[in-house]
Chain A
Amino acid sequence: MSHAAPAPVGGKLVTPITTVLGVMVLAMVAVLAVRFVYGLGAATNLNNGYPWGLWIAWDVVTGSALAGGGFATALLVYVLNRGEYHPLIRPALLAALLGYLQAGFSVVADLGRWWDFWHIFWPGYAQVNSVLFEVAVCIMAYTVILAIELLPAALERLGWQRAKKKLERVLFVFVAIGVLLPTMHQSSLGTLLVVFGPQVHPLYQSTVLPLLFLTSTIGMGYAAVTIEAAISSVALRRPLEKEILGKLLQIGRGLMALFLLVRFGDLVWRGALHFAFEPSLPMLTFWVENLLFSVPLWLLASAAARGRARLIFLGAMAMALGGIVYRLSAFLVAYQTGAGWHYFPSLGELTVTAGLIAFEVLAIILAVRVLPILPAARSSS
């Protein structure tokens, strides 16, 4: 099987879409100015009952999981040697790098004493029992690894062939670390909740959280890769790689089945299954997630269904949405800290989150136009 080499897409950089995205980024900058001058309270609805809000639950926990396509695809292509997925790797790595950069950026905006953030890595300050320590170190290291994994694309563009060759000889080490680190911190993002103890609803609080977060992250990663491929095929008027994506979602189905098995098995094991039938907000989100996670299982059950673009897209959307709802509800809905505390993101928080998404999309558009990320169009090969 042969694939077209990645090549810059070309085209204009200033378009109505990139302009709108640029304005959204500027709105974010304005809100952040307020946040940094007057404090978190001036721009957010964070409070002592809900000290973590949208910026953590969405930008960091969910955003980095959607960026899981980078390591999930690298795992397939380089570790499991499934070369047929190769055309997906560069777009997936680019989306992952941007996803992790926005996560890191959100963390700095969210940290009250951001100027001291380096304490996390500094001997004497670093506290290795903290789950957050592990998450922070791994995310930081992985962002660097992602940049190295993408470096060949930039070197290729610059025409530095010798440097590219040299880098490629040792790239396998970075690829391996680039699979290990997300495996660690994506599971630890779930472990973050364990120390909250009974403040997290029993449908969610569990020592299998790391396994649930890991399996759903890989699923979300493949879903995101599929959705990105679908969008770029429509936007760039190119045929969709249906065969590859159908296979990718077949793996996704396995992950969803594993997730649901572990989740329900754990509830039975802990004797907490009855909470799934006692009315509460977490009960509602619990069923919404499970339903969404189950969609690929029945929708894409047949090989014929996995060959249809519309169903591929729907299955991937359900898987991604399921993971999004799961993360947001675990951190914001199932986390109940006592009577009298409420949280809903402020306009400012929403503006920053939207601005970061706009920034990511903008960067992807600009990057695929300038750098060899996407496979060259079929007609030219």
Chain B
Amino acid sequence: MSFDRRDLFRLAAVAATGAATQAHARPNKTMPEEALGLLFDGTLCIGCRACMPACKEANGMPPELTPLEANGQTSAVWDAPLDISGSTLNVIKAYRDGTGEHKDEVKDGFAFTKQSCFHCVDPSCVSACPVSAMTKDPVNGIVSYNVDACIGCRYCVAACPFGVPRFTYDTPKPKISKCQLCRHRLEDGKFAACATVCPTGATLFGKVKDLKAEVARRKALAPGTPTTYPRGRIGGGDSYSARAGRYVPRVYGEHEIGGTQVLHLSGVPFELLDKPELPERAPAAVSESLQHGLYYGLLAPATFLGILVAAARRNMVAAGKNPDEVKKP
């Protein structure tokens, strides 16, 4: 058998590139028919932040105090998170420029945005998690977390392009925190707490297909036209009257890494709202295509092992040598 190192490199190269590109490229996953989600319309948001304490109450999470409050220098009244964290799943953030006088304008204006889990159609966190602690519901598509499975490796934290899963570094018994779309409230006919309390319908709960229809309706309206917006959840009967907003063309979440179940409309460009620029191809699909290509049916590793066993046997046993014994002259 002639088998030298060049053959080996060739084999490695074939295994690493050939197989991966030919076999089993996995397309992005597709939206479940009954997917549930949120529509956040920045032009409707008035920045009242009612959704934030409602989220905490619904999920039993502690308030985050300001440094002054934490030091006891002032009474601890305000829940004042600046960002999502181990104890905050949802934050309203503001863009502000110059005098900050005009709502939803880039110059001398301000605008609001919501930060919480996007419930990706093809989530990186689910692909990354080695122990099935992050899972996507096949019916409603909610991405949820199971602390009892979690080993705290934080691969999900690193993988999420939106920076959503947060880890509690300050305790010896840590866990991951992320919005799970109030899945624990769905059984009682309730829905996401943030949408439930939103006074203007800026955060709206519903099936993604209905939310998409609502997006299309809003975008078709001439800015300034009086209209009514569903409030709470689509089909709940409650509504709010206002004038139609002026939107940037893009609907954030429609295409990002293969689409998300939380959609954002905005009056200002999304770059100004710290929403990352992302490709349409899901990184989870790229990663799994590569892994499945290399390890499809374990064919490549099994073949390689066969060659290795044959070569090692020939060199160590069949030639009558004791492998670990020294060659005698």
Q: How far is the CB of A109 from chain B (nearest CB, A)?
A: 11
Smallest CB gap from B86: residue in A: A48
Residues of A104-157 whose CB lies within 8 A of B:
110-114, 116-117, 119-120, 124-127, 129-134, 136, 152-153
**Is the pair A172, B172 in contact by a Cβ cutoff of 8 Å?**
no
| Known contacts A39-B169, A172-B309; is-contact A199 B304 (Cβ 8 Å) | no
| Tally of contact residues, A, Cβ under 8 A | 87
- Does chain B have a CB within 8 A of A291? no
Cβ of A125: which chain B residues have Cβ within 8 Å of it? 131-132, 149
Q: Mark A324-338, 1 if CB is under 8 A from B, else 0.
A: 000000000001011
Residues of A75-110 whose CB lies within 8 A of B:
75-76, 78-81, 83, 86, 110
Which one of B39-47, B54-62, B198-206, B319-327 is at the interface? B319-327
Expressed in whole angstroms, the Cα–Cα distance for A153 and B9 within the complex equals 31
Cβ of A44: which chain B residues have Cβ within 8 Å of it? 169
Q: How far is the CB of B304 from chain A (nearest CB, A)?
A: 6
Instruction: Specify which of A2, A76, A79, A195 lies most central, judged by the most chain B CB atoms within 10 Å of its CB.
Output: A195
**Is the pair A131, B128 in contact by a Cβ cutoff of 8 Å?**
yes
**Is the pair A117, B151 in contact by a Cβ cutoff of 8 Å?**
yes
Instruction: Specify which of B12, B278, B295, B316 lies most central, judged by the most chain A CB atoms within 10 Å of its CB.
Output: B316
Q: How far is the CB of A258 from chain B (nearest CB, A)?
A: 7
- Does chain B have a CB within 8 A of A322? no
Q: Given A78, A124, A126, A254, which contacts B130 in the complex, CB threshold below 8 Å? A: A126
- Does chain A have a CB within 8 A of B287? yes
**Is the pair A127, B129 in contact by a Cβ cutoff of 8 Å?**
yes
Q: How far is the CB of A95 from chain B (nearest CB, A)?
A: 17
Residues of B129-172 whose CB lies within 8 A of A:
129-132, 149-155, 157-159, 161, 163, 166-172
Residues of A41-75 whose CB lies within 8 A of B:
41-42, 44, 46-49, 51-52, 75
- Does chain B have a CB within 8 A of A194? yes
**Is the pair B8, A80 in contact by a Cβ cutoff of 8 Å?**
yes
**Is the pair A180, B151 in contact by a Cβ cutoff of 8 Å?**
no
Expressed in whole angstroms, the Cα–Cα distance for A159 and B4 within the complex equals 36
- Does chain A have a CB within 8 A of B249? no
**Is the pair A191, B326 in contact by a Cβ cutoff of 8 Å?**
no
Expressed in whole angstroms, the Cα–Cα distance for A198 and B257 within the complex equals 10
| Known contacts A86-B326, A126-B131, A183-B12; is-contact A197 B290 (Cβ 8 Å) | no
Smallest CB gap from B293: residue in A: A207
| Known contacts A113-B174, A126-B131, A197-B283; is-contact A120 B151 (Cβ 8 Å) | yes
- Does chain B have a CB within 8 A of A168? yes
Q: Mark B96-135, 1 if CB is under 8 A from A, else 0.
A: 0000000000000000000000000000100111111000
- Does chain B have a CB within 8 A of A169? yes
Expressed in whole angstroms, the Cα–Cα distance for A196 and B284 within the complex equals 8
Expressed in whole angstroms, the Cα–Cα distance for A41 and B4 within the complex equals 50
**Is the pair A198, B276 in contact by a Cβ cutoff of 8 Å?**
yes
- Does chain A have a CB within 8 A of B241? no
**Is the pair B294, A172 in contact by a Cβ cutoff of 8 Å?**
no
Expressed in whole angstroms, the Cα–Cα distance for A127 and B163 within the complex equals 22
**Is the pair B12, A176 in contact by a Cβ cutoff of 8 Å?**
no
**Is the pair B20, A337 in contact by a Cβ cutoff of 8 Å?**
no
Expressed in whole angstroms, the Cα–Cα distance for A76 and B323 within the complex equals 13
**Is the pair B324, A127 in contact by a Cβ cutoff of 8 Å?**
no
- Does chain A have a CB within 8 A of B80? no
**Is the pair A79, B326 in contact by a Cβ cutoff of 8 Å?**
no
Q: How far is the CB of B117 from chain A (nearest CB, A)?
A: 14
Q: Mark A190-208, 1 if CB is under 8 A from B, else 0.
A: 0110111111000000011
Smallest CB gap from A180: residue in B: B305
Cβ of A339: which chain B residues have Cβ within 8 Å of it? 274
**Is the pair A111, B312 in contact by a Cβ cutoff of 8 Å?**
no
**Is the pair B326, A40 in contact by a Cβ cutoff of 8 Å?**
no
Q: Given B276, B290, B311, which contacts A79 in the complex, CB threshold below 8 Å? A: B311
**Is the pair B305, A338 in contact by a Cβ cutoff of 8 Å?**
no
Q: How far is the CB of A378 from chain B (nearest CB, A)?
A: 14
Expressed in whole angstroms, the Cα–Cα distance for A165 and B155 within the complex equals 44
Smallest CB gap from B20: residue in A: A207
- Does chain A have a CB within 8 A of B286? yes
Cβ of B301: which chain A residues have Cβ within 8 Å of it? 180, 184
Cβ of B129: which chain A residues have Cβ within 8 Å of it? 127, 130
**Is the pair A168, B323 in contact by a Cβ cutoff of 8 Å?**
yes
Q: List 25 A-B contacts (CB under 8 A).
A: A4-B326, A5-B326, A41-B169, A46-B169, A51-B157, A51-B158, A79-B8, A81-B315, A112-B174, A112-B175, A116-B150, A116-B152, A119-B131, A125-B132, A125-B149, A132-B153, A171-B323, A172-B312, A180-B301, A195-B128, A195-B283, A196-B124, A211-B12, A215-B12, A339-B274
B residues apposed to A, CB below 8 Å: 3-5, 8-9, 12-13, 16-17, 20, 85, 124, 127-132, 149-155, 157-159, 161, 163, 166-175, 257, 274, 276-279, 283-284, 286-288, 290-292, 294-295, 301, 304-305, 308-309, 311-317, 322-329
7 nearest interchain CB pairs? A112-B152, A197-B283, A41-B169, A51-B154, A113-B152, A176-B308, A51-B157
